Amino acid sequence: MSKNNEKMRILIIFNSLIGVIGGGSRHIVEVANRWIVSNDIHYLISNEGYNVAVDHIGAPHENKKIIKYDVTFDSIRKFHLAYISRTVKSAYLCYKMRNEYDVVVAPNYLPQNIIPAIFMKSKKTKLVVYFHTTPLKERSKYLKSINVLKRNLSYLNWYFCTVVSERYFDLVFVINKSTKNYFVNRKVASQKVEIISNAIPYQSIVSIKTPTIRKYDCVFLGRLVKSKGILDIVKIWSIVTIDNPTAKICILGDGPDRDELEKEIRKNSLENNVFVYGQAENDEKYRIMKDSNIFLYPSYYESQGIVILEALACELTVVAYNLPTYNEFYDDYLNTVEVGDFQEMADLVKAIIKWPEKYRKQREDIKNFISNYDWGVVSKNQELLLKR
Distance CA 94, CA 324 (A): 38
Residues 6+ apart with CB under 8 A from 32: 10, 12, 41
Q: Is the pLDDT of residue 2 over 60?
A: no
Do 298 and 313 belong to one domain?
yes
**3-class secondary structure, 278:** strand
Say whether pTM exceeds 0.85.
no
Do 243 and 255 belong to one domain?
yes
**3-class secondary structure, 150:** helix
For residue 379, the tally of other CB atoms under 10 A from its CB is 21
Q: Which residue range(s) make up the domain with 248? A: 202-370
Dihedral, 97, 62, 102, 71 alpha carbons, nearest 10: -30
Question: Would residue 4 count as lying in a domain?
Answer: no
pLDDT digits (tens, 9 = 90+) for 55-106: 888 888 999 999 999 998 998 778 889 999 999 999 999 999 999 999 999 9
- Quickly state the pLDDT bin for 5 (edges 50, 70, 90): low
Q: Is the pLDDT of residue 17 over 60?
A: yes
Do 165 and 223 belong to one domain?
no
Q: How many domains does the chain have?
A: 2
Do 139 and 29 belong to one domain?
yes
- Compute the 3-state secondary structure of the chain and give helix, strand, coil in percent, each to the nearest 5: 50, 15, 35
Query: E-strand spans in the chain?
Result: 9-14, 40-46, 64-69, 103-106, 126-131, 171-174, 193-195, 218-221, 249-252, 274-278, 294-297, 317-321, 335-337
Do 16 and 164 belong to one domain?
yes
The edge-to-edge listing of strands for the beta sheet with 274-278 is 274-278, 249-252, 218-221, 294-297, 317-321, 335-337
Distance CA 223, CA 278 (A): 10
Characterise 331 by phi-psi region: left (phi > 0), alpha (psi -120 to 50), beta (else): left
- Quickly state the pLDDT bin for 1 (edges 50, 70, 90): very low
For residue 178, the tally of other CB atoms under 10 A from its CB is 17
Q: Is the pLDDT of residue 364 over 80?
A: no
Do 118 and 237 belong to one domain?
no
